[in-house]
């Protein structure tokens, strides 16, 4: 037995002692292949999953390295069966390979004949393949390339896709490093994506994912379709590309509810792409509107199902997914893996913080107690109404008031889920509010006023979760959220992680009603950030109201 911080168990759970001297170092080394499940005060629980191990394998980690980490940090002997399972699971990735054959086009090739025989017996594989070429290869219908990868992943034999890509229509794009320089990790991320062919780059909010996208475009030198969460994000992408590349305004089109421009670089919103008319997704034709050389999926963890379905049909195009977290609350991480591509680059949040590119953050959970009236309402409410009641407690308004007084000289975002709660808060605080009902023009004006300091406090709904660049924001106060969404928690913290000119720490407050589902959801929401090394201090609302904490 050594004194390591990790306990590795045969059920594939890893228990990490959070207070151990080597805990941070261990967390960093297991992050590429283990997923955090629970993060209470002292013992954090991680789990080894096939998808996590396959993503690690695709990103260049081998079984020997994973096993070495487990052995090095484990306090007790690691179960031998688990080590064998890790090696065998990682070895499954790439035993099947999609490749180009000089005579037969796209084929599925096996490095193990028995594996090919096994998958060809599946009724789901049968309609996706053609004639058997030899004992190790079978023809694949080119239009079924993505669907086959999805099926093979579910069968437990993820294929390594090395079949290559069409170049697409050439278009000159170059970076213009005038007054700025690409960071090493951005360059490595773009090159890692390109070398891998297609896949996902995972970087913290505020770490410059747009720059990675621009760098990938400069490598591709081809027409590019960029898919983003909303029109505000589309215009931020356009402004960033105009600032960082040789592209001109005439070369960049916006395809949104307001405009339908198709140009060499076209930025489209997920919302317009998934708009149905008479049961048909008419705008998905945009995927075929030009001979795209590259498709960029911003915030790939939010990809809607119709985009997944169409992505399955365009596997000959290079695809780059950008995100701060691969966590999907709908469990479709496997579809991201098979259809966009595996994780090609992943930088832990704390690594980027230590390099000074994102601000350090202090995360505080402020617990309020419902008053007698609210407790009775909560106790007698239907289960589906309880979260709204707890999340919208009037007690939270007093806490927000106190926090705003505490941070009177800083730019503050008050973030929530329920529109009536947000409008009441905005009226109480005499602050501007931005929701889905706010026009794009009004949003942009308010965001600009916030950036210049003309507006100090903004009350925002989930429309501000993604792709909104507000470097001046240094404090976020979250009063309610999308139930237990880990991805949303990460994005909301990301609103305040842009580095501050004076180097100060960002503050992220989650105001939570104790003894309710609000507290349960908060614990779940914090899991991803705990995995990245952020710890929540828990304080009582009375301390905030009394001004006793720092």
Residue 140 — pLDDT band, cuts 50, 70, 90?
A: very high
Q: How far apart are CA 340 and CA 200, in angstroms?
A: 7
Residue (of 199, 490, 493) closest to 325 by Cα position: 490
Does 342 share its domain with 423?
no
pLDDT: which is higher, 328 or 484: 328
Q: Reply yes or no on whether the pLDDT at 150 is more than 90.
A: yes
Does 348 share its domain with 221?
yes
Does 408 share its domain with 462?
yes
- 9-51 residue pLDDT tens: 999 999 999 889 999 899 889 988 998 777 777 888 899 999 9
Span 110-124, mean pLDDT?
95
Q: How far apart are CA 285 and CA 281, in angstroms?
A: 8
Q: How far apart are CA 304 and CA 132, in angstroms?
A: 35
Residue (of 55, 62, 343) closest to 193 by Cα position: 343
Residue 487 — pLDDT band, cuts 50, 70, 90?
A: confident
- 335-344 residue pLDDT tens: 999 999 999 9
User: Of 352, 369, 393, which residue is a domain's last?
Assistant: 352
Q: How far apart are CA 499 and CA 496, in angstroms?
A: 8
Cβ proximity of 292 and 225 under 8 Å: yes
Residue 297 lies in a domain: yes
- 267-277 residue pLDDT tens: 999 989 988 88
Does 75 share its domain with 139?
no
Residue 172 lies in a domain: no
Span 514-542, mean pLDDT?
85
Name the residue with tokens 């507290």.
519
Residue 177 lies in a domain: no
Does 211 share its domain with 278?
yes
Residue 157 — pLDDT band, cuts 50, 70, 90?
A: very high
Q: Can you tell me whether residue 471 is helix, strand or coil? A: coil
Q: Reply yes or no on whether the pLDDT at 346 is more than 70.
A: yes
What are the beta bridge partners of residue 269? 228
Give phi and psi for 355, each to the nearest 5. Answer: -80, -5
Among the residue ranges 54-58, 128-132, 448-452, 470-474, the one predicted with the least confidence is: 470-474
Residue 168 lies in a domain: no
Residue (of 92, 14, 83) closest to 57 by Cα position: 92
Q: How far apart are CA 374 and CA 516, in angstroms?
A: 11
Q: How many CA atoms lie less than 13 Å away from 59 in the CB half-sphere?
A: 24
Residue (of 67, 113, 117) closest to 89 by Cα position: 67
Does 238 share its domain with 337?
yes
Residue 167 lies in a domain: no
Does 45 share its domain with 84?
yes
State residue 423's pLDDT score.
93
Q: How far apart are CA 547 and CA 550, in angstroms?
A: 8
Among the residue ranges 60-64, 66-70, 205-209, 427-431, the one predicted with the least confidence is: 205-209
State residue 382's pLDDT score.
92
State residue 86's pLDDT score.
97
- 370-428 residue pLDDT tens: 999 999 999 999 988 999 999 999 999 999 999 999 999 899 999 998 899 999 999 99
The tokens for 436 are 């889905």
Does 491 share its domain with 392?
yes
User: Of 352, 384, 399, which residue is a domain's last?
Assistant: 352
Q: How many CA atoms lie less than 13 Å away from 452 in the CB half-sphere?
A: 6
Residue 548 — pLDDT band, cuts 50, 70, 90?
A: very low
- Distance, CA of 182 to chain centre: 22
Span 231-242, mean pLDDT?
93
Q: How far apart are CA 143 and CA 9, in angstroms?
A: 43
What are the beta bridge partners of residue 540? 367
Residue 138 lies in a domain: yes
- Distance, CA of 21 to chain centre: 29
Residue (of 480, 455, 488, 483) closest to 470 by Cα position: 455
Cα-based distances in Å from 395 to 250, 379, 381, 545: 52, 17, 18, 11
Q: Can you tell me whether residue 472 is helix, strand or coil? A: coil
Task: Kindly give, in sequence order, each residue whose CB lies less than 8 Å from that of residue 260, ignoring residues fewer than 6 positions away.
Answer: none
**Edge-to-edge strands, sheet with 265-269:** 252-255, 265-269, 224-228, 294-298, 318-323, 199-202, 343-346
Q: How many CA atoms lie less than 13 Å away from 307 in the CB half-sphere?
A: 28
Task: Kindly give, in sequence order, each residue whose CB lies less than 8 Å from that of residue 126, ignoring residues fewer than 6 positions away.
Answer: 120
User: Of 313, 333, 352, which residue is a domain's last?
Assistant: 352
The total number of structural domains in the chain stands at 4
Residue 211 — pLDDT band, cuts 50, 70, 90?
A: very high
Strands 129-134 and 265-269: unpaired
Strand ranges, E, within 214-299: 224-228, 252-255, 265-269, 294-298
Does 337 share its domain with 370?
no
**H helical segments located in 302-394:** 305-311, 333-335, 349-354, 372-380, 383-391
Residue 169 lies in a domain: no
- Summary mean pLDDT of the chain: 90
Q: Reply yes or no on whether the pLDDT at 218 is more than 60.
A: yes
CATH code at position 241: 3.40.50.300
Residue 73 lies in a domain: yes
This prediction has a pTM of 0.85
Residue 549 — pLDDT band, cuts 50, 70, 90?
A: very low
Does 417 share its domain with 505?
yes
Does 298 share its domain with 255?
yes
State residue 326's pLDDT score.
79
Whole domain around residue 119: which residue ranges? 96-161
Does 220 share its domain with 266?
yes
């Amino acid at each position: 037995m050594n004194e390591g911080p990790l306990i590795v168990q045969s059920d594939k759970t890893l228990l990490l002692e959070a207070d151990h001297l080597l805990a941070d170092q261990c967390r960093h080394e297991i992050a590429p292949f283990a997923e955090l499940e629970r993060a209470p005060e002292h013992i954090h629980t991680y789990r080894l999953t096939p998808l996590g191990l396959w993503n690690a394998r695709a990103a260049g980690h081998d079984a020997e390295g994973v096993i070495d980490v487990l052995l090095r940090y484990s306090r007790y002997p690691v179960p031998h069966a688990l080590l064998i399972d890790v090696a065998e699971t990682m070895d499954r990735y790439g035993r099947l390979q999609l490749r180009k054959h000089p005579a037969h086009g796209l084929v599925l090739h096996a490095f193990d004949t028995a594996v090919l025989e096994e998958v060809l017996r599946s009724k789901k594989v049968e309609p996706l393949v053609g004639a058997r070429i030899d004992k190790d290869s079978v023809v694949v219908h080119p239009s079924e390339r993505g669907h086959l990868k999805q099926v093979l992943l579910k069968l437990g034999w993820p294929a390594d896709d090395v079949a290559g890509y069409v170049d697409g229509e050439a278009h000159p794009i170059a970076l213009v490093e005038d007054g700025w320089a690409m960071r090493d990790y951005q360059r490595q991320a773009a090159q890692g994506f390109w070398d891998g062919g297609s896949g996902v780059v995972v970087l913290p909010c505020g770490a410059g994912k747009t720059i990675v996208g621009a760098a990938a475009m400069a490598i591709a030198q081809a027409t590019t379709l960029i898919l983003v969460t909303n029109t505000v994000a589309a215009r931020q992408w356009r402004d960033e590309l105009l600032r960082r590349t040789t592209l001109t305004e005439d070369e960049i089109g916006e395809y949104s509810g307001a405009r339908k421009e198709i140009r060499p670089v076209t930025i489209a919103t997920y919302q317009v792409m998934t708009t149905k008319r008479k049961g048909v997704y008419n705008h998905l034709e945009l995927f075929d509107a030009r001979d795209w050389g590259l498709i960029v999926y911003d915030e790939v963890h939010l990809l809607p199902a119709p985009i997944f379905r169409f992505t399955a049909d365009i596997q000959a195009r290079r695809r780059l997914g950008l995100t701060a977290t691969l966590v999907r609350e709908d469990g479709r991480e496997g579809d991201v893996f098979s259809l966009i591509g595996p994780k090609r680059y992943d930088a832990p949040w704390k690594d980027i913080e230590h390099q000074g590119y994102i601000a350090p953050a202090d995360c505080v959970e402020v617990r309020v107690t419902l008053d007698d009236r609210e407790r009775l309402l909560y106790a007698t409410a239907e289960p589906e109404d309880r979260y709204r009641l707890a999340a919208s407690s009037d007690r939270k308004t007093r806490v927000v008031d106190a926090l705003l007084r505490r941070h009177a000289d800083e730019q503050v975002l008050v973030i929530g889920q329920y529109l009536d709660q947000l409008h009441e808060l905005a009226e109480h605080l005499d602050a501007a509010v931005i929701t889905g009902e706010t026009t794009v023009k009004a949003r942009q004006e308010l965001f600009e006023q916030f950036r210049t300091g003309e507006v100090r406090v903004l009350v925002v709904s989930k429309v501000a979760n993604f792709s909104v660049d507000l470097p001046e924001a240094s404090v976020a106060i979250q009063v309610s959220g999308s139930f237990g969404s880990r991805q949303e928690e990460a994005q909301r913290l990301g609103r305040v992680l842009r580095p501050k000119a004076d180097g100060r720490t960002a503050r992220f407050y989650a105001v939570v009603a104790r003894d309710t589902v609000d507290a349960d959801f908060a614990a779940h929401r914090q899991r991803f950030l705990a995995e990245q090394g952020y710890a929540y201090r828990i304080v009582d609302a009375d301390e905030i109201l009394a001004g006793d904490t720092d």
